[in-house]
Amino acid sequence: MDPGLRDWYSRGRFLTFAGHEVFYVDEGSGPALLLIHGYPFSSWDWIQIWDHLTARFRVIAPDMLGMGFSAKPVDYAYRVAAHADMHTALLAELGVGSCHVMAHDIGVSVAQELLTRQSEGTTTTDIASIAFLNGGLFHEVYRPRLVQTLLSDTIAGSIVGRFPFLMTDRLTDLALDEMFGPETKPSKELLRQWHEIMAYHHGKRVTHLVGRFIHDRKQERDRWVTAMQRTPVPMRFIDGPCDPNSGAHMAARYREIIPNPDVVSLGDDIGHWPQLEDPAGVIRHFDEFIDRLPPG
């Protein structure tokens, strides 16, 4: 195993949820901060901002089922609601009643579901604030890449699930490359780490199943957006505008439909993974957001 990933794994623990093991890291002290990672990787995506966050928060970062070091069952319903259930169960297991949230990619959908449950009064978890990074907050302007559509919407996904060698590292690298800004491409080391994360527990068998969360975004769009429009929970959207999936166009839509929108755009050349492409910018804008919240 890659040395960095081995160290990360050694710092984690496991929660049993729905009969499957969920990996998570829980470090730092202070108010609780839940980090909800993106698709198709893991909590390792937060590594560039981890030390800063744990200096002021108790940071809890799980790997969702089907990704990272968590179990990747082939017979599991990978729905956003189920991912939200897992995060709620983890917080309850750790005795966390209230937390801040930072979410990325599929994680923004999980955060929207958690926020909606709070708005509906169907959860005991209290969200103190949410910082959204790049993700498909609004289905109508989300632009999934061709490979994601093929895996989640066509028979190609089932074929790759049965014959995972068809999803070569080279093809994955090409798909990832277009998601990053022109000057912030992932390093060869990070790509190797990501390939190892995907391969762990034979993850390529279920990548197409996990990717079907995009259908939940369409189905739950109005429910989630209504909650965002009505909630008193402070929210900030920190966006990498160069992201072809959810960049400047997603920020523009946020400004159109969310009352009193708090939107921060990073540099014009920052893409889909702002916490890796511009960690200093994410930290700066997140700290500013947290620091202006009322105490309590």
Q: What are the pLDDT digits (tens) for 260-288?
A: 999 999 999 999 999 999 999 999 999 99
Domain that holds residue 83: 3-291
Residue 296 counted as domain residue: no
Number of domains in the chain: 1
Bridge pairing between strands 32-36 and 98-103: parallel
Handedness of CA 4, 58, 285, 180 (dihedral sign): positive
The closest alpha carbon to 282, from 134, 147, 94, 183, belongs to 134
Mean pLDDT of the chain: 92
pLDDT at 146: 57
Q: What are the pLDDT digits (tens) for 174-185?
A: 788 889 999 999
Cα 283 → chain centroid:
16
Residue 121 counted as domain residue: yes
Which CATH number does the domain housing residue 22 bear?
3.40.50.1820
Mean pLDDT of 119-147: 89
Residue 39 counted as domain residue: yes
Residue 199 counted as domain residue: yes
For residues 98 and 148, the model is more confident at 98
